[in-house]
Amino acid sequence: MEQAIELNESMVTRAREAAAAIADDIQRHIDEHTTDTTERATLRLLGITGVNGIDVPLVNVVVEHGRELLPGGIMPPFVDLMMRSSKSAQDVAEGVAKGALALAAVPRERRANVEQRATELAREGVARIDAVRRRRNELVAEVGEPVKPYVYVIVATGNIHEDCAQAKAAARAGADVIAVIRTTAQSLLDYVPYGLTTEGFGGTYATQENFRLMRAGLDEVGAELGRYIRLCNYASGLCMPEIATMGALERLDMMLNDSMYGIIFRNINMQRTFVDQYLSRLINARAGIIINTGEDNYLTTADAFEKGYTVVSSDFINEAFALRANLEPWQIGLGHAFEMNPAKSDQVVYQVADAQLIRQLFPEYPLKYMPPTKYMPGDIFQGHVIDAMFNFTGILTGQEIMLLGMLTEALHTPLLQDRYLSIKNAKYIFEANRHLAGEVTFRPGGIIERRANEVLQRAAEQLEEVRQIGLFEALSRGMFADVKRDPDGGRGGEGVFRIGDDYFNPFFAELRAGRMSGAPVGPAPGRTAAKEGGQS
């Protein structure tokens, strides 16, 4: 790493060891529990789709019918019913919904055959995910890979058809990643809406049909432009593993998939969230999806200068959870943000210090850097300049996924022309500074190096404290984002079940087994700014 600050390596070791211990402690809880959405995702992996006569998803109907059986997993009674009725998974789900078929505990004499058949079905389900991943790899090779950092922009009108039109326009203007913001509060729904949608408030519903439509639109414009356009949505909230399943089947490329975001910012039960994030990340890992974590949100509720170390702590924790869920380094898009008060003297110097620290702590990861939002002014010209400093900091420190700020962000939902101006801003700064990182060095003992090591030390100390008291207790004390949560409170706690000795779900083993390694590579991929500039 040509351009680097000297970090206290003993602090790095202490932080990573503490985060690993924290994750191992939570993993024991994960391994002892399941949730209703985990079991619903299992049914989706079998290929079940659709709704009943009153628009309740069939997977919800089946899990509710088998609720007393969930400590043993939904797979054994469901597959047993498939075998006894000689029907497909979809037909059995429809039969249960109509009351024509009933789930029941599996007798001992049928158990071995049921588990064998369930394992075969799990392999078939994972094979469908593998086929979608191979198709992505083929398309990237055929169409081409954009030069990094990825230019990431948001669309969200509520109408999926309008979203597709706006996404194509953004891609033509230079966007590489399109994120479709979910409609307000969808994360609190304990079901996934079905079908395409043309209405939504503050965003668009995340549904499998909406995923399919947007994917088709981006493939069309990507072929026109000669570069693969990535699609991002949100595997978070009360249906994390279900939305991850939908994304895997419809070839999403990135998913917001944080281990603690739902707890802190949506008051979702923490016991449930940790269980759900595990299966969702196993699915994303197998599907070749890049996850994005949400540490940027911490700095909207806590001060970025004083509490920047909490972002680093959480990045270490998210890394530990991600590695335990089989994600490869190129899939771990840890998050951070440019959120200090612009009135602060040397704001950009301190932002560079924080960004460079995270880049060096996680050199193999495609870090996602979030733009300023908390202090964006109503003055669009000043806002555009602040966004430009964000873009400059990102290219200088080798960030790979740059979510662009919008000059009208503090005024209204950005319009198409606002995205165009933001993309133009970013493209100019990225190209104008393409090799700057390789041409400059940081002053030893200077502001940047001192700030980075101070943040690192505070993060390591916080992680060691969390290791001592446990992550549940740390969250209850508000140690992240200054938000306190009750370990037994929050939405969705009634959907958590301690598993029995007979719990059986072969998807966990099949998702981990024989993983497909490697990122998709195009015929002439652009090198990242970090590599060109000597960052990694």
Q: In sequence order, what E strands does 295-417 have?
A: 332-333, 335-337, 368-370, 401-403
Which is catalytic among the residues 148, 168, 307, 368?
A: 368
User: Are 254 and 400 a contacting pair, CB within 8 Å?
Assistant: no
Sign of torsion over alpha carbons 449, 17, 34, 209: positive
Specify whether the CB–CB gap between 358 and 457 falls below 8 A. Answer: no
What length does the chain have?
536
Residues 236, 305: Cα–Cα separation, whole Å: 27
With beta carbons less than 8 A apart as the criterion, state whether 448 and 356 touch: yes
Reference 233, options 359, 199, 249; nearest CA is 249
Residue 234 annotated in active site: no
Cβ neighbours around 389 below 10 Å, total: 19
Is-catalytic flag, 168? no
Q: Which distant-in-sequence residues (6+ apart) come within 8 Å of 159 by Cβ?
A: 197, 198, 199, 200, 204
521, with CB counted inside 10 A (0-12, 13-18, 19+), is exposed
Q: What are phi and psi of 101, to 5 degrees?
A: -130, 150
The DSSP H or E segment spanning 510 is helix 507-512
Residue with tokens 């801003």: 425
Which residues on adjacent β-strands are paired with residue 177? 152, 230
Task: Report how far Cα 468 is from the mean position of its chain's Cα atoms.
Answer: 28
Question: Does a cis peptide bond (omega within 30 degrees of 0) precede residue 149?
Answer: yes
Select which of 152, 205, 261, 369 is catalytic.
261
Candidates 176, 276, 296, 354; catalytic one: 296
240: phi then psi, degrees, rounded to nearest 5: -50, -55
Residue 368 annotated among the catalytic residues of the structure: yes
- Angle formed by the axes of helices 240-249 and 108-143, nearest 10°: 50
What are the residue ranges of helices labelled H in 187-268? 208-225, 240-249, 261-266
Scan for tokens 């619903």, then name that residue.
Answer: 40
DSSP 40-89: HHHHHHTT---B-TTS-BHHHHHHHHTGGGGGG-SHHHHHHHHHHHT--H
Cβ(233)–Cβ(243) under 8 Å? Answer: yes
Q: Strands 177-180 and 230-234: what pairing? A: parallel
Amino acid code (one letter) for 264: I
Residue numbers annotated as active site: 261, 296, 368
